[in-house]
């Protein structure tokens, strides 16, 4: 099975045109975005966030956005691969050690090798 990398897509996750609803790389043929592309949804959420600050300047916005996106990404992928770190690291395109560090950072993998699933602890 041939996989498509993210490098083939434009900055919008599709063909690069603003408001594009083309499928992101690797999406199944039946996939349809709800509410626009992921980039459109992120842009809208960021605009709402900055507006909600009522003129205050956001600090560490880059770090905040990465944390807000990375945790649910890891949660969804780990659920999709049923906790299999090798499959998750391949799907995400990162080394397994890096994956474990990120899971630990977000409290999804405890340092002693157990992972949290819906608040319960399970042995990895």
- Joined together, the tokens standing for residue 114 give 């157990």
**Bridge partners of residue 114, in order along the sequence:** 123
Domains along the chain? 60-123 (1.10.10.60)
Would you call 37 exposed, middle or buried from its count of C-beta atoms within 10 A (0-12, 13-18, 19+)?
buried
User: In this predicted model, what pLDDT tens digit does every residue of 16-74 receive, in sequence order?
Assistant: 444 444 556 666 666 666 778 888 988 999 999 999 999 899 899 999 999 899 999 99
- pTM for the predicted model, two decimal places: 0.60
Greater pLDDT, 113 or 98: 98
């Amino acid at each position: 099975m041939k996989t498509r990398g993210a490098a083939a897509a434009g900055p919008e996750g599709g063909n690069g045109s603003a408001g594009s609803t083309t499928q992101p790389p690797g999406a199944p043929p039946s996939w349809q975005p709800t509410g626009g592309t992921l980039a459109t949804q992120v842009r809208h959420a960021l605009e709402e966030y900055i507006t909600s600050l009522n003129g205050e300047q956001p600090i560490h916005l880059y770090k905040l956005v990465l944390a807000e996106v990375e945790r649910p990404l890891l949660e969804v992928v780990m659920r999709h691969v049923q906790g299999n770190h090798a499959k998750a690291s391949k799907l995400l395109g990162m080394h397994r050690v890096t994956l474990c560090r990120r899971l630990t950072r977000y409290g999804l993998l405890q340092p002693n090798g157990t992972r949290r699933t819906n608040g319960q602890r399970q042995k990895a």
